[in-house]
Amino acid sequence: MRKKKLLVPLLVLLSPLALSSFPSWSGPETAEAKPASGTPKVDHIVIVVEENHSLREISGNKSAPYMNQLMKQGANLVNHYAIEHPSLPNYLDLFSGSNQGVKNDKPIHSFNTDNLAAELIKHGFTFGGYSEGLPKIGFTGAYDLKTKYARKHNPWADFTNVPQSANMPLTSFPKDYSKLPTVSFVIPNMDHDIHDGTIKEADDWLKQHMSGYVEWAKKHNSLLILTWDEDDRSQKNKIPTVFVGPMVQQGDYKQKSNHFDVLRTIEDSYGLNPLGQAKQARSLPIWNLR
């Protein structure tokens, strides 16, 4: 492991282009954390977050054939809810177990509190955030109007204890999926997350960018989580959420759940300390442990 330790100081000398070859940031080597009892260890998790649509707007919608295909393939949470409105607090809830006191979409914040990325790094795992349209690695601006990137959909940019090298454009997402971080977020731009674009545009984008990973995950003990930040205030914040991977039991799950339960499920998969409201949440009973 000495070679790994020598690489870390060199990162400060590398250009952003060179940094693109480092798809994630890992922390110092520690004793390996183990999954919680009854929870399988997952090699890679990719979480894609869409925007502002209720479950009934997506489920059965002919403009979203790929999203509905994933719902049939995986553990489909049919009684799942966002925490609040508007967008940014929900991203913070999902990422850190708390909205960190944020109640609006003002995009520039700075926190040094516990979060999923920091916990993964502390326990020797890796994390990467991939945002479509992010101008460069470590970009901290609020928006890029040309690419339709929005920092309010990128919660790890708000935490000083997450290395800037983990804040990457989608172009850094590896084509060799075995090089993915332990846990990744993929955030489409404002058109492709259905914030500004159509459901069909988002569905086409998702199939184009994630179908390859989904097929690979089925053979490599890995998982896709597709969720939404919030609904459009039409269904009491009930949102679509589906887990797709070889370790999940397919079917519709009617147990009421929310962002904190998703976070707790990820934490339990790697033996991490539950964060914020995830301490009171329940890991989702979706696993096929036979």
Confirm whether 74 is domain-assigned.
yes
Which range of residues forms the domain containing residue 129?
A: 27-279
pLDDT value of position 13: 32
Confirm whether 270 is domain-assigned.
yes
What is the rounded average pLDDT for all residues in the chain? 91
- Indicate which CATH number applies to the domain containing 244: 3.40.720.10
Confirm whether 196 is domain-assigned.
yes
Confirm whether 146 is domain-assigned.
yes
The number of domains in the chain is: 1
Apex 217 CA angle, 211 and 220, nearest 5: 155
Confirm whether 130 is domain-assigned.
yes
pLDDT tens digits, one per residue of 102-125: 999 999 999 999 999 999 999 999
Confirm whether 178 is domain-assigned.
yes
pLDDT tens digits, one per residue of 24-82: 444 444 446 788 888 999 999 999 999 999 999 999 999 999 999 999 999 999 999 99
Confirm whether 284 is domain-assigned.
no
